[in-house]
Amino acid sequence: MLIRLRVNGFKNLIDVDLHFGPFTCIAGANAVGKSNLFDVILFLEALMDAPIMDAGMAVREEKGSISDIQHLFTRAGKGICLPIEIEAEMLVPGEGSDYLDQPAEAKTTFLVYRLELKYRSPEGAITRPRIELITETLDYVKKGEALAHLPFKHSPGWRDSVVKGRRTSPYISTETQEDGSRVVKLHQDSSTGGGRTRLFQAEKLPRTVLSTVNAQESPTAVLARQEMLNWRLLQLEPSALRAPDGFDAPSQLAPSGAHLPATLYRLSQEQVSSDFENSARGEAFVHMIHTPGTAGARALAQIANRLYELIDHVGQVRIDRDDKRELLTLQDSARPHCRGTGPVSLSSAVRASRCGRRNPGAARYRDQGRCCRSARPPRPGSSRAHAGGVAPNRRASSPLCCGKSQRCNQSRHAGDRSPGGHPESQTGAS
């Protein structure tokens, strides 16, 4: 999780210092640097997997050209480019793996990455400009100082759960030698790596030192690298979000929002695996995950609850697995306004996921866009039709009808309402 970003000398960003929380909105007039701020984040992500020049040329350029990396630097005068200084504070997971899928465990989880880059004009036999690495460090934030670095509202319990470990020296440092040359030091933090510090001449580095680490020698640095590799700029497209996924589709969200069903299905299955490992009675849990609609319901219920905080009509979220066609499809259902506005419980999520199998008519009725959650309208004289003390022939008398959908205003419902008003005005339903 990116906590703070300080940038100086990148395009038009001068002494920018921004703190991030769980949800941060960035607003401003045109051409003030909003897009450039996201370019910095993508630039850091690219530096973790590519040479410095390739990462620089991949950054968006306003005029559409990426052949000259000079556009990355702030120009202080004719032919003078200020160095780029980037500092990122981040929370990393306690464990993970490197690019060879070798396990890594962090010594500390609150890290600070600093990088300074300089523009070098073509000189001598070198006919193209280049970016030279000046400084690279990876340090840590002490647990006692974490509160001052987390300005957003949070609980002490949450802070203790994400800020762990202790350290007495940096993971990566840069020093200037007596002859004026700069050396980047990679300090190993694993007992299996031999504990020896590796030295790199900064002016000759084609890529960052952090992009070369492995879990055997520097497990904490590996997790910092993986954290930055996971930073994404999403430009969501409704058609991509709605598209189903095959069983062999990538299980990570694409920048367009594609592979959302496969991503949510992976998250739900990871929840199942976690619950199984934490279960005291394995046989009882095995019985539960073989019950249709139960596996992963807790994870999807949590997602539905988070969505409900932003969109108040979101009810249930489920992933339909079609073994015959080998497709994963995202399905959701609206939350009826008249049935309360509380969060979704695990039991209700499980019931909703089974609903389509138990009562296909209800699913068809829901898919037609009608406001009622049942398979058919209430029969005149039934207890459902009399709810609220309204005449039996009124659709709004059903407690399962929200009375607010667009179809309530269509002519086929005109006979179910009293003239001159919405069903809510006649029944007092909320």
What local confidence, expressed as pLDDT, does residue 126 receive?
66
d(CA 245, CA 321): 10
Measuring CA to CA, how many Å separate 145 from each of 20, 110, 168? 17, 10, 14
What local confidence, expressed as pLDDT, does residue 341 receive?
47
d(CA 191, CA 265): 37
What local confidence, expressed as pLDDT, does residue 390 receive?
42
What local confidence, expressed as pLDDT, does residue 150 receive?
92
Region of 31 (left: φ > 0; alpha: ψ -120 to 50; beta: rest) is: left
d(CA 4, CA 114): 12
8 A C-beta contact, residue 56 and residue 72: yes
Q: What is the mean pLDDT of each run of 10 residues along the chain (430 residues)?
A: 94 92 86 88 93 88 61 82 94 90 92 94 76 94 91 91 90 91 89 76 93 91 94 87 91 89 86 52 41 59 80 80 91 63 44 45 42 47 46 40 44 43 40
8 A C-beta contact, residue 398 and residue 377: yes
Structure tokens belonging to residue 352? 């909703």
Measuring CA to CA, how many Å separate 308 from each of 43, 291, 311, 342, 399? 33, 27, 5, 9, 21
What local confidence, expressed as pLDDT, does residue 309 receive?
80
What local confidence, expressed as pLDDT, does residue 130 receive?
87
Residue 38 makes CB contacts below 8 A (sequence gap 6+) with 233
d(CA 224, CA 96): 10
- Return phi, psi of residue 109, to 5°: -115, -5
Dihedral of CA 43/46/47/53: which sign?
negative
d(CA 408, CA 32): 46
A 10 A CB-CB count for 257 gives: 18
DSSP E strands, 265-342: 314-322, 327-334
d(CA 218, CA 197): 11
Structure tokens belonging to residue 366? 């829901």
8 A C-beta contact, residue 92 and residue 221: no
d(CA 40, CA 57): 13
- How many residues are given for the chain? 430
d(CA 184, CA 211): 13
Residue 179 makes CB contacts below 8 A (sequence gap 6+) with none
Residue that is written with structure tokens 């934030």 in the block = 141
End-to-end CA distance of the chain: 40
For residues 9-44, one letter each, b for 16 or more C-beta atoms within 10 angstroms of the residue's C-beta and e for the rest, the string is bbbebeeeeeebeeeeeeeeeeeebeebbebbbbbb
A 10 A CB-CB count for 215 gives: 24
Dihedral of CA 230/236/240/245: which sign?
positive
What local confidence, expressed as pLDDT, does residue 88 receive?
96
What local confidence, expressed as pLDDT, does residue 178 receive?
87
What local confidence, expressed as pLDDT, does residue 396 receive?
40
Residue 156 makes CB contacts below 8 A (sequence gap 6+) with none
Predicted structure pTM score:
0.67
8 A C-beta contact, residue 103 and residue 215: yes
Residue 16 makes CB contacts below 8 A (sequence gap 6+) with 5, 6, 7, 8, 33, 37
What local confidence, expressed as pLDDT, does residue 362 receive?
43
> What is the CA angle 68-41-300, rounded to 5?
140
